Amino acid sequence: MLFGTKQKTLLAGAAAMLLAGAVQQSAAEEPHYKVFLDMSYSGNIWQAAAANGIKALAATPPYDKEVEFKTIISGTDVQRQISDIQSMVAAGANAILIYPLSPTALNRVIRQACAQHVLVFTYDSTVTEPCAYNVSNITARYGANSAQWMVNQLGGKGELVINHGVAGTAVTKTYDAQALHIFSRYPGIKIVGEFYGNWNDATSQEGVSKILAAHPNLDAIWTVDGTYGSLQAVMKNRPDRLVTIAGQSNNGYRLMIADPKLQAKGLRGLSSSAGPAVGPYAFKVMMEVLTGQLKPTQHNIEYPLPWVPYTDVKLCTGDRFVGGCNTFPEGKVPPLFIDTSLNGDLLPELSLTAVQEGKPTPGARIQKLPEIHYAENLPGINCENCTAPPDAMEPNLVKPIPVPK
């Protein structure tokens, strides 16, 4: 009896497998791609917004039918990410989109993947392995541009705090070097304090509060992220005299820098830095390459640097960035929502719910990308044994003011 049941199960299993095979064969007539997203960690607004945007695009026609899409979270352990990439290759991936945990440590496994003809893309963070495609704005000189913007706002003099970000990362090293290069050109700019805010609002708020206690005449704060927290520290401790500040693109921060009442107290803000929309943008580029619509001649592709000074903040009425608007009214999204999760020009398929829930926008269809822009070489960031352009440390979005006498 027992044997009988077992045999029946086996038979049923075999039949099911045959059936599955038949179904797979009929599905194979349409183009069909196996695509993986390997993200680092979740539970962080930036990472979640980027992953949601990618998921929403993967479920937007025609990719909803053509792409078998799967997300893997590798956490913060690079060994785990190596292991997951190996598994994706073994599972027959056609393309892998990675948030790389290290610019160099994945190179070997990425080479293995390329050797198996798997298309490898990274978003936001980059790798130096030449067979991978990097899509990022790390080459867009945020450090130089934001520092120069602040110097111009300050008239070339003032007391400044540097909120470094995360130690030991390529982003921190690159942006810090650019910003310090610009600040050091103006003798009137005095750096009175610096700390590692870890791109975190709570850590940044604490760090700025401490420095503010020792330097009550602080004029400016330069950040890469943790901007909202940095500004909160000034609002709490010195509400009548605010600062010039550059950094991220949280909705609450954009609303604050656009507020005339706060501007009257001296707030001059720039909203820029890396936006989560680079993730979905990288996905679109990768899919165009995978489907043969796009044949890039270089592997480093630049995502345009978000750039919204306080004078350019424009409120949206709906839940998409259309007509040049770039900020949601208060109450529509949480203050820490990152406005650069969306991009009206490059990613018209995405709406607010898409990046908040990872669901496709109803009625949307994937649009063809405008022309892509190649990135500059940055040794140790997106290439090895290469040279950066001679003006790599100089601003290219802002015109420098002369050094005050």
Partner 1 sequence: MKIAVKIGRALGGGAPFATVVCLVMYAVYAARAPSALSIFGITNVLNDAVVLAIGSAGLTLVILAGEFDLSGVGVIAIANVLVATTSGASGFGALGSLALVLAIGLLVGTVNGVLVAFFQLQSLAATIGTMIACEGVALLILPAPGGEVSDKIATGLTGDLAGVIPVALLILGGFAAAWFVFKRTSLGVAIYATGADAQAARLSGIDLRRTRLAAFMLAGLCYAFAGYMLSAETGTGDPRVSSALLLFMYAAVAIGGTSLSGGKGGVFGSLVGAGILTVLQKMLFALGVAEFYTNIFNGIVMIFALLFGNIVSSLAGPLRRQVAK
List residues binding partner 1 (CB under 8 A): 42, 70-73, 75-80, 82-84, 86-88, 90-91, 101-108, 166-170, 172-173, 380
Between 46 and 321, name the residue whose CB sits nearer to partner 1.
46
Residues 142, 143, 144, 150, CA torsion sign = positive
For residues 377 and 388, the answer to whether their CB atoms sit within 8 Å is: yes
Secondary structure (DSSP) of 1-46:
-HHHHHHHHHHHHHHHHHHHHHHHHHHTTS--EEEEEEES--SSHH
Euclidean distance between CA atoms 250 and 175, whole angstroms: 20
Between 219 and 225, name the residue whose CB sits nearer to partner 1.
225
Closest CB 217 distance from partner 1, rounded Å: 31
For residues 154 and 182, the answer to whether their CB atoms sit within 8 Å is: no
Q: Count of alpha carbons within 13 Å of 228, Cβ hemisphere only?
A: 18
Closest CB 13 distance from partner 1, rounded Å: 13
Closest CB 36 distance from partner 1, rounded Å: 10
Between 10 and 322, name the residue whose CB sits nearer to partner 1.
10
Between 7 and 87, name the residue whose CB sits nearer to partner 1.
87
Between 109 and 286, name the residue whose CB sits nearer to partner 1.
109
The residues, ordered by sequence, that sit 6+ positions from 354 with a Cβ below 8 Å of its Cβ are 52, 53, 56, 360, 361
The CA distances from residue 57 to 43, 62, 89, 359, 368, in Å, are 21, 10, 22, 8, 13
Closest CB 212 distance from partner 1, rounded Å: 26
Between 79 and 367, name the residue whose CB sits nearer to partner 1.
79
Closest CB 248 distance from partner 1, rounded Å: 21
